[in-house]
Structure 1
Amino acid sequence: MENFILIILCIVIGYGLNRLHIFSKDAATTLNQFVIYVSLPAMILLQIPKLTFSMDTLIPVIIAWLVMFITAILILLLSKFFNFSKEITGSLMLVAILTNSSFLGIPILNAYMGESALPYVLVYDQLGTFIALATYGTFIASYYSSKSELSFKIILYKVLTFPPFLSLIVALFLIGVEFNENLTKVLSALAATIVPVALVAVGLQLKLKLQKEEIKPFSVALTVKLIIAPLIAFLICKLFSWEGDISTISIMEAGMAPMITAGAIASMAGLAPRLSSAVVGYGIIISFITTYILFMLIS
């Protein structure tokens, strides 16, 4: 319950700070940069080395990547059909694809299914969403934020120099390594700043009234993320006859709200910042209802 309160409170604080003009106009960008360059790398270095592998871990991972791949193709097709701009398409390729599998996934699935669900939640999050954020997310932000044509060399350079990706590479070499207690405490403290800082940034950019031209991409993003994505996960489970808690957890994870950090990356890259923040902010609130309905339908 405290996680839900924190989520709503941080968004409200950010929105209030913006309405009262307490922070500077570029405060949201600064907060997003802090998340990308400090908080997220710390989280990756803290969590990835804890991974262990088994056959059961493959199901959430396969579902996570298939859902992201299929929804990314769908977003591209819908963006072309509705003639969305490059900026808006880039935004949707982040916030409508990457799921909030950790901060929302952990408390929601713990509430519905108990602590036994958490190992599979972490697998979906770390081998699916986290790696996708560091690789796919970096590529999308680099490609769609460019004002000119990008060569493969330039994109590769941007991916390889992106802090979360560099942290991921280091973390993969540290799998199985147990950090010093003091180092763990430092990384934990830095990683814990992701949610409050990113959500305050979301609140700073949140507009209760969207521009007319933003309503359509906003609706597309949340429809794909909250309804179509879990439906795809459900169909994948049926196709491969995957049943039980693992399939339920994976379907629920696919239907979580848009990832907070995906919104931060989109905003930092200049990909429709107001739209990106609105999709994340409203998506989180609406997902409290949609995930409840989803669990009632599949359990």
Structure 2
Amino acid sequence: MDNFVLILVAITIGYGINRLNIFSKEAPIILNQFVIYISLPAMVLLQIPKLTFSVDTIIPIVVAWAVIIISAILVLLLSRLFAFSREVTGSLMLVATLSNSSFLGIPIINAYMGEDSLPYVLVYDQLGNSIAVATYGTFIASYYSNKSKTGFKIIFLKILTFPPFISLIVALFLMGVEFNDTITKVLTNFANTIVPLALVAVGLQLQFRLPKEDLKPFSVALVVKLILAPIIAILVCKLFGWNNQAAIVSIMEAGMASMITAGVIASMTGLAPRLSTAIVGYGIIISFFTTAVLFKIIG
């Protein structure tokens, strides 16, 4: 419940600040840059080394990556069908494929399924979305943010120098390593800034009346993320005959709203910032209802 309140309060604060013209117009960009260059790397360094592998981790991992890949293919097809611009397509490739699997996923799934389901949430989030945003997300942002055609070498260099990706590589070498209390506290404090800063940035850019040209890609993103993604997860679980707690958690995670960090990356790299923010902001609110329906169907 506390997380839900924080979501609404942070978005409302950002929206109010924007309406009162308290911050400069560059405020969302500055907040997003802080998240990308400091907060997110701290979160990756804090969480990835804690992961351990077991048979139970297979289901969330397979479902997470299957949903991301198939959703990305659907977005590409729909973007071509509706003739979306390069910037809009890049935006949707981020916000319509990656789930808010931790900040929304943890409280929602804990409310519906209890604390014993949370390890599967963390596996889905860390071995699925966290790695995806540092690899797939970096590639998409690098590729679509360039107005002209860019060679593989340039994109590869951008990926290698992207802060979340660098921190992921470092974190993978630190798996199994326990940090001392001081390092843990420092990383935790920086990592905890992700959600309030990112959501205030969302509120700063949120518009209740979307421009007409944004309505179609906005609708496509929400349909793919909140409806088609959990359907993909259900089909994957049925294909492999998975019908246990890990499978249910994975399906619920697939149906969460767009990842806040994906919206931050899209906004920071110029991939339809207004649209990306709207999809993240409205998606969070709508997902409270869609996940309730989803759990009633599969629970």
TM superposition score category, shorter chain reference = over 0.9
Structure 1 CA distance, aligned partners of 2:249 and 2:117? 7
Equivalent residue for 1:265?
Answer: 265
1:43 aligns with 2:43: yes
Structure 2 CA distance, aligned partners of 1:277 and 1:111? 27
Structure 2 CA distance, aligned partners of 1:147 and 1:60? 36
Deviation at 1:5, TM superposition (A): 0.2
Equivalent residue for 1:242?
Answer: 242
Equivalent residue for 2:218?
Answer: 218
Deviation at 1:36, TM superposition (A): 0.1
Structure 2 CA distance, aligned partners of 1:254 and 1:140? 20
Deviation at 1:147, TM superposition (A): 1.4
Structure 2 CA distance, aligned partners of 1:250 and 1:48? 19
Counterparts in 2 of 1:1-299, with a 5 A limit? 1-299=1-299
Instruction: In structure 2, give the amino acid aligned to 1:198.
Output: A
Q: Could you report, residue by residue, the CA deviation over 1:216-265 in whole angstroms, capped at 9, with x for unpaired residues?
A: 00000000000000000001111111001111000000000000010000
User: What TM-score does the superposition give when structure 2 sets the normalisation length?
Assistant: 1.00
Structure 2 CA distance, aligned partners of 1:239 and 1:232? 10
SS in 2 for 1:10: helix
Q: Kindly, what percent of the aligned residue pairs are identical?
A: 72
Instruction: In structure 1, give the amino acid aligned to 2:126.
Output: Q
Structure 2 CA distance, aligned partners of 1:250 and 1:88? 28
Q: Could you report, residue by residue, the CA deviation over 1:143-177 in whole angstroms, capped at 9, with x for unpaired residues?
A: 10001111000000000000000000000000000
Structure 2 CA distance, aligned partners of 1:87 and 1:207? 19
Instruction: In structure 2, give the amino acid aligned to 1:268.
Output: M
SS in 1 for 2:178: coil
Deviation at 1:10, TM superposition (A): 0.4
SS in 2 for 1:15: helix
Deviation at 1:141, TM superposition (A): 0.4
Instruction: In structure 2, give the amino acid aligned to 1:239.
Output: L
Deviation at 1:112, TM superposition (A): 0.6
Unmatched 5+ stretches in structure 2: none
Structure 1 CA distance, aligned partners of 2:84 and 2:33? 26
Structure 2 CA distance, aligned partners of 1:68 and 1:53? 21
Instruction: In structure 2, give the amino acid aligned to 1:53.
Output: F
Deviation at 1:71, TM superposition (A): 0.5
Structure 1 CA distance, aligned partners of 2:201 and 2:224? 24
Deviation at 1:272, TM superposition (A): 0.5
Instruction: In structure 1, give the amino acid aligned to 2:274.
Output: R
User: What TM-score does the superposition give when structure 1 sets the normalisation length?
Assistant: 1.00
Q: Could you report, residue by residue, the CA deviation over 1:78-98 in whole angstroms, capped at 9, with x for unpaired residues?
A: 000000000000000000001
Structure 1 CA distance, aligned partners of 2:179 and 2:48? 12
Instruction: In structure 2, give the amino acid aligned to 1:170.
Output: V
Structure 2 CA distance, aligned partners of 1:149 and 1:241? 43
Deviation at 1:113, TM superposition (A): 0.6
Structure 2 CA distance, aligned partners of 1:224 and 1:103? 20
Unmatched 5+ stretches in structure 1: none
Instruction: In structure 2, give the amino acid aligned to 1:100.
Output: N
Deviation at 1:39, TM superposition (A): 0.3
Q: Could you report, residue by residue, the CA deviation over 1:251-283 in whole angstroms, capped at 9, with x for unpaired residues?
A: 000000000010000000000000000000000
SS in 2 for 1:126: helix
Structure 2 CA distance, aligned partners of 1:127 and 1:59? 11
SS in 1 for 2:251: helix
